[in-house]
């Protein structure tokens, strides 16, 4: 169903025929944790200065959406339009926007970094302090929302993107231009899963031939595996509870698959690697699996925690093992420059060296978002992609 609008644009600054002014759009709204996320009609204001509106083609359902829906990332984060991984076509640009133009294909980026705060200046743009404040408040960068429900209540923008809807207004730094040759249903994965997973590998400065284990082979874990393969890792051990995801992991470059339901995963990693791996990636977000990543390391190894744990989770570690010079670190959203990373990774996709389609386990409609969240809660499937605009998304039927 197309969005309803009172006016239609023909001026520069918008795609011909695009509805301008306030529009109504169907959106998946988290009303409160514990209540199923349902689609409702909401009102979206036009982009202000430095913002753009995107006609959303497709969006990926990520584990962080589950955490938000379950209220595990802190109180006060609802009502919210969910969705932070997606791609679409810019259809209206606000005043002062020169970086993209109407008609451009883009992926969303949920840390529209300012470029001038302390972390940005030191090259750690994903830790931008300015973006973080708005991200936690559920607003855009000016501290306000462009979204409200039909009763007039303001709705939060999920991670400053809110793309489980037909149209999204975001800061211009929240979109990254894409080559047109990447189908948008695949490009949807670039802005969270791909950048997060492959960026975590880049953070480790993994050597050619290194031994690696990846705990959790969902939408992000499968990208870590692809990244480790591209970086030249030798042994890549994939660990999961689901045989289906382990098969995907092997297809993506894992050399060994460990089913953690059968036997202790850490024991199996030590057997395969001959005493532990140099790099362990945790891509689940739980105390138990973070401890497994630590225990899987050889002396001198590094555990990188990529999974998002619920607030309040603590992880005890055997401190004596710091004598063996093990390292544990985090990686958030690829730990680099997201715009540069998406450009580089897009080129790998265009060159046929990085396959995006194979990690998509389910193509679904917007109304099926709660079912997709439920599959993630159960650890089933890799990535569900919501096809929001069939013609733009170009997905197989
Ligand atoms: Zn995500
Ligand atoms: Zn900044």
Ligand 1 centroid, distance to 324 Cα (angstroms)? 33
In angstroms, the CA 67 to CA 33 distance is 9
pLDDT, position 19: 84
* Token pair of 372 as six digits: 């997709």
Ligand 2 centroid, distance to 122 Cα (angstroms)? 10
Ligand 1 centroid, distance to 270 Cα (angstroms)? 30
pLDDT, position 1: 43
Residues with CB under 5 Å of ion ligand 2 are 113-114, 117, 120, 128, 130
Kindly state the DSSP code that residue 165 receives in the 8-state scheme.
Answer: B
Q: For residue 158, which ligand has an atom nearest its CA?
A: 1
Ligand 2 centroid, distance to 105 Cα (angstroms)? 25
In angstroms, the CA 211 to CA 153 distance is 52
Q: What is the pLDDT along the chain (397 residues), one digit of tens a residue?
A: 444 444 444 334 888 888 889 999 999 999 999 899 999 999 999 999 999 999 999 999 999 999 999 999 999 999 999 999 999 999 999 999 999 999 999 999 999 999 999 999 999 999 999 999 999 999 999 999 999 999 999 999 999 999 999 999 999 999 999 999 999 999 999 999 999 999 999 999 899 999 999 999 999 999 999 999 999 999 999 999 999 999 999 999 999 999 999 899 999 999 999 999 999 999 999 999 999 999 999 999 999 999 999 999 999 999 999 999 999 999 999 999 999 999 999 999 999 999 999 999 999 999 999 999 999 999 898 999 999 999 999 999 7
Ligand 1 centroid, distance to 9 Cα (angstroms)? 33
Task: Give the alpha-carbon dihedral of 335, 205, 228, 298, to 10 degrees.
Answer: -110
In angstroms, the CA 68 to CA 160 distance is 13
H-helix segments, the chain: 63-69, 118-121, 129-137, 184-187, 195-204, 221-231, 243-251, 265-273, 287-295, 338-350, 369-377, 390-393
Ligand 2 centroid, distance to 50 Cα (angstroms)? 16
Q: For residue 68, which ligand has an atom nearest its CA?
A: 1
| Residue 71, burial from CB neighbour count under 10 angstroms (0-12, 13-18, 19+) | middle
Q: For residue 67, which ligand has an atom nearest its CA?
A: 1
pLDDT, position 9: 46
Per the DSSP assignment, residues forming a β-bridge with 236 are 212
Across 208-217, b (16+ Cβ under 10 Å) vs e yields: eebbbbbbbb
Q: For residue 163, which ligand has an atom nearest its CA?
A: 1
Ligand 1 centroid, distance to 307 Cα (angstroms)? 10
Ligand 2 centroid, distance to 126 Cα (angstroms)? 8
Q: Give this prediction's pTM.
A: 0.94
Ligand 1 centroid, distance to 309 Cα (angstroms)? 13
């Amino acid at each position: 169903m197309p969005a309803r609008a009172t006016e239609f644009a023909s001026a520069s600054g918008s795609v011909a025929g695009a509805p301008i002014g306030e529009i109504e759009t169907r959106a998946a709204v988290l009303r409160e944790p514990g209540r199923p996320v349902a689609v409702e009609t909401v009102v979206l204001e036009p982009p202000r200065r430095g913002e753009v509106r995107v006609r959303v083609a497709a969006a990926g359902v990520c584990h962080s959406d589950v955490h938000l829906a379950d209220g595990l990332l802190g109180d006060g984060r609802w009502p919210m339009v969910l969705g932070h991984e997606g791609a679409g076509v810019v259809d209206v640009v606000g005043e002062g926007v020169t970086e993209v133009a109407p008609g451009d294909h883009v992926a969303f980026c949920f840390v529209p970094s300012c470029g001038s705060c302390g972390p940005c200046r030191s090259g750690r743009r994903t830790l931008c302090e300015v973006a973080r404040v708005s991200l936690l408040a559920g607003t855009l960068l000016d501290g306000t929302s462009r979204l409200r429900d039909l009763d007039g209540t303001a709705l939060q923008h999920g991670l400053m993107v809110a793309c489980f809807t037909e149209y999204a207004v975001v800061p211009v730094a929240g979109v990254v231009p894409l080559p047109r040759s990447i189908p948008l249903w695949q490009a949807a994965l670039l802005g969270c899963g791909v950048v997060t997973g492959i960026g975590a590998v880049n953070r480790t400065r993994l050597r050619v031939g290194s031994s690696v284990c990846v705990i959790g082979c969902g939408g992000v874990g499968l990208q870590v595996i692809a990244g480790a393969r591209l970086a030249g890792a030798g042994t890549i051990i994939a660990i999961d509870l689901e045989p289906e995801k382990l098969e995907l992991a092997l297809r993506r470059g894992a050399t060994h698959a460990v089913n953690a339901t059968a036997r202790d995963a850490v024991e199996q990693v030590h057997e395969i690697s001959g005493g532990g791996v140099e790099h362990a990636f945790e891509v689940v977000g739980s105390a138990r699996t973070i401890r497994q990543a630590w225990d899987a390391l050889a002396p001198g190894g590094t555990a990188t925690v990529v999974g998002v744990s619920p607030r309040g989770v603590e992880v005890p570690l055997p401190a004596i093992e710091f004598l063996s010079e093990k390292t544990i670190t985090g990686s958030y959203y690829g730990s680099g420059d997201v715009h540069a990373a998406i450009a580089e990774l897009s080129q790998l996709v265009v060159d046929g060296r990085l396959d995006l389609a194979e990690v998509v386990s389910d193509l679904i409609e917007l109304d099926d978002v709660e079912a997709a969240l439920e599959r993630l809660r159960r650890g089933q499937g890799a990535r569900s992609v919501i096809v929001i605009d069939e013609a733009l998304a170009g997905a197989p039927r």
